[in-house]
Amino acid sequence: MNKGEFIKAMAGKSGLTAKDTKKAYDAFVAVVAETLKKEQKIQLAGFGTFELKHRAARNGINPLTKKKVRIKACKVPALRFGKAYKANF
């Protein structure tokens, strides 16, 4: 499912127009991005938690040259699904 299909599915479930659903989707994505940039987490009961995880520095291998490289520590966004959401599967 791509973004357009997702928006159509959300519009069908919510009864909103596709245009209004796209605005809501874009707002949701913007709020998540802004919150994670502030290094805060978002907990949505029944769904999951958006948060930044810290990835430690590590050694890697360049697949083209086969040389060892040092990969810097970084922060990556993550979504951890909640128990209630997992129970649906």
Q: What is the predicted pLDDT for the residue at 84?
A: 84
What distance in Å separates the CA atoms of residue 81 and residue 54, rounded to the nearest whole number?
18
Q: What is the predicted pLDDT for the residue at 83?
A: 86
Phi–psi pair at 29, nearest 5 degrees: -65, -40
What is the fold of 41-89?
Answer: HU Protein; Chain A (4.10.520)
Q: Can you give the pTM of this predicted structure?
A: 0.79
pLDDT in tens, the chain (89 residues): 999 999 999 999 999 999 999 999 999 999 999 999 999 999 998 899 999 999 999 999 999 999 999 999 999 999 999 988 888 77
Q: What is the predicted pLDDT for the residue at 80?
A: 94
Residue ranges matching CATH 4.10.520.10 in the chain: 41-89
Q: Mapping DSSP to helix (H, G, I), strand (E, B) and coil, where does residue 74 land?
A: strand
